[in-house]
């Protein structure tokens, strides 16, 4: 049973914003894979919805002349995975969203909804963190750009205001060029499972392929919000690739994460996953970049 008071189908972003301003209790719906579950569970009983799923300006992926990749917020997961720009420049994001739910969910769910939901288990979140994505919001006061490091405000909370629409996710060239990335998800099942832990790593090697020029490490479900392990990243810069370096990175990461116990997994098990998944992802990105961790 879906207790919905009203649904307005907007044809433009400005129309959607206007409807949200008219009704301060209205909520945005696009793919509906998260919102409809909440309604069915009674968490949004009697809600007013503004449907943005038919707005053309919110769909698609393009690249600016400066190399910035722009992912429109209502683009569904399956389109992201199969897009030529994504496959060529940031395939790790395509791989991450390809692990969301099953085929039906990936054909309906949108990347905008995935991040606006604010949950730490969102499969796109940790990879968007290591890509240093910027979130483009439009509201009655105009457009603002929010770094993803400032996007999450707590469990299930983001900086988006009720009367704002997330219009796009922007990824600048400097944050993907020269990197190789890998996202690894652990769940109790191989498919259609919410992440028990997600780990995303991006590695940029020096020109001689022997040392770390830059390293980015992101996690989902290692804390109340998706997070980066900045201290471990900084420690690794300029260091020669080796097993010893990886041991040091893992040691530092374990000091930065803050997983908790839940019905899905204990804190201790998540800490084990934090280290093991980092080791696998780091090694894979080094090899993909032409390096050798066993030298």
pLDDT per residue as tens digits for the range 185-198: 998 766 556 889 99
Is residue 279 located within the same domain as residue 205? yes
* pLDDT tens, position by position, 74-111: 999 999 999 999 999 999 999 999 998 888 889 888 99
Segment 125-165, tens digit of pLDDT: 999 999 999 999 999 999 999 999 999 998 889 999 999 99
pLDDT band at 231, cuts 50/70/90? very high
User: Is residue 147 situated within a structural domain?
Assistant: yes
Can you tell me the mean pLDDT for 189-208?
Answer: 86
**Distance between CA atoms of 252 and 106, rounded to whole angstroms?**
35
Grade residue 2 by pLDDT with cuts at 50, 70 and 90: confident
Which pLDDT score is estimated for 119? 86
Checking 104-108 for CB contacts under 8 A at 24+ apart, the result is 105/33, 105/77, 105/192, 106/76, 106/77, 106/78, 106/81, 107/76, 107/77, 107/78, 108/31, 108/32, 108/33, 108/76
Report if residue 284 sits inside a domain. Answer: yes
Same domain, 170 and 67: yes
CB within 8 A of 210, min separation 6: which ones? 240, 241, 291, 295
| pLDDT given at position 147 | 97
- pLDDT band for position 32 (cuts 50, 70, 90): confident
Confidence at 219, pLDDT banded by 50, 70, 90 = very high
Residue 295 is assigned to a structural domain of this protein:
no
35 lies in the same domain as 81: no
Q: How far apart are CA 218 and CA 183, in angstroms?
A: 9
- CATH of residue 145's domain is 3.30.465.10
- Same domain? 92 vs 169: yes
Residue 27 Cα distances to 38, 57, 117, 268, angstroms: 12, 19, 12, 37
Same domain, 71 and 11: no
Instruction: Give 1's pLDDT tier (boundaries 50, 70, 90).
Output: low
In a domain, 294, yes or no: no
Which pair of structure tokens corresponds to residue 285? 């990105």
Strands (E), 140-248: 142-147, 152-154, 157-158, 165-171, 180-186, 197-205, 212-220, 227-228
Same domain, 86 and 191: no
The closest of 80, 93, 77, 98 to 33, measured between CA atoms, is 77
Residues 200 and 225 occupy one common structural domain: yes
Q: What is the mean pLDDT of residues 163-185?
A: 97
Q: Which residue has the higher pLDDT, 42 or 67?
A: 67
Residue 145 covered by a domain:
yes
Q: Is the pLDDT of residue 286 over 80?
A: yes
Looking at the domain assignment, is residue 293 inside a domain?
no
pLDDT at 235: 97
Answer whether 120's CB lies under 8 Å from 226's CB: yes
How many independent structural domains does the chain possess?
A: 3
- Specify whether the CB–CB gap between 196 and 184 falls below 8 A: no
Task: Check which CATH number belongs to the domain holding 16 and give it.
Answer: 3.30.43
Domain boundary residue, one of 174, 190, 209:
174
Identify whether residues 65 and 8 lie together within a single domain. Answer: no
Domain that holds residue 135: 56-174
**Residues 63 and 156 occupy one common structural domain:** yes
Of 174, 209, 225, the position where a domain reaches its end is 174
Contact 237, 140 (CB under 8 A): no
Query: In this structure, are 104 and 160 located in the same domain?
Result: yes
Q: What percent of the chain has pLDDT over 90?
A: 75
**What is residue 241's predicted lDDT score, i.e. its pLDDT?**
97
pLDDT of residue 14: 97
Whole-number average pLDDT of the chain: 92
25 inside domain: yes
Instruction: State what percent of residues in the chain have pLDDT above 70.
Output: 98
> Could you tell me the CA-to-CA distances from 5 to 40, 50, 52, 235 in Å, in that order?
13, 11, 17, 53
Q: What pTM did the predictor assign?
A: 0.93
- Bridge partners (DSSP) listed for residue 198: 185, 220
Query: Same domain, yes or no, for 168 and 271?
Result: no
Q: What is the largest CA-CA distance in the chain?
A: 64
Q: What is the pLDDT of residue 187?
A: 80
End-of-domain residue from the set 152, 174, 196: 174
What digits encode the pLDDT tens for the residues 16-28? 999 999 999 999 9
Q: Within this chain, do residues 25 and 60 fall inside the same structural domain, yes or no?
A: no
Residue 156, pLDDT score: 85
What's the pLDDT band for 264 if we cut at 50, 70, 90? confident
Which CATH number does the domain housing residue 262 bear? 3.30.390.50
Residue 39 lies in a domain: yes
């Amino acid at each position: 049973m879906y207790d919905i008071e009203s649904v307005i189908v907007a044809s433009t972003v400005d129309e959607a914003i206007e409807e949200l301003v008219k009704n301060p209790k209205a909520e945005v719906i696009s793919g509906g894979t998260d919102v409809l579950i909440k309604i069915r569970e009674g968490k949004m009983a009697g809600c007013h919805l503004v449907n943005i799923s038919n707005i053309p300006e919110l769909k698609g992926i393009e690249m600016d002349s400066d190399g910035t990749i722009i992912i429109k917020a209502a683009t569904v997961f399956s389109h992201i995975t199969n897009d030529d720009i994504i496959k060529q420049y940031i395939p790790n994001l395509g791989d991450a969203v390809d692990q969301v739910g099953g085929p039906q969910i990936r054909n309906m769910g949108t990347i905008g909804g995935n991040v606006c939901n604010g949950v730490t288990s969102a499969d796109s979140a940790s990879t968007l963190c290591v890509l240093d994505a910027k979130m483009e919001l439009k509201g009655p006061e105009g457009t603002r750009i929010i770094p993803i490091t400032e996007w999450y405000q707590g469990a299930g909370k983001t900086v988006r205001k009720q009367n704002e629409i997330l219009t796009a996710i922007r990824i600048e060239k400097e944050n993907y060029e020269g990197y190789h990335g890998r996202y690894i998800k652990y769940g109790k099942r191989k498919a259609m499972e919410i992440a028990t832990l997600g780990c995303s790593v991006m590695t940029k090697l020096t020109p001689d392929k022997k040392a770390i020029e830059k390293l980015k490490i992101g996690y989902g479900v290692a804390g109340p919000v998706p997070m980066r392990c900045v201290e471990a990243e900084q420690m690794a810069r300029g260091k020669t690739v080796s097993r010893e370096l990886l041991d040091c990175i893992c040691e530092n990461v374990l000091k930065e994460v803050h997983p908790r116990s839940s019905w899905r997994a204990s804190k201790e098990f998540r800490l084990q996953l934090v280290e093991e998944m980092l080791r696998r992802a780091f090694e894979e990105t080094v090899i993909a970049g032409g390096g050798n961790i066993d030298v």
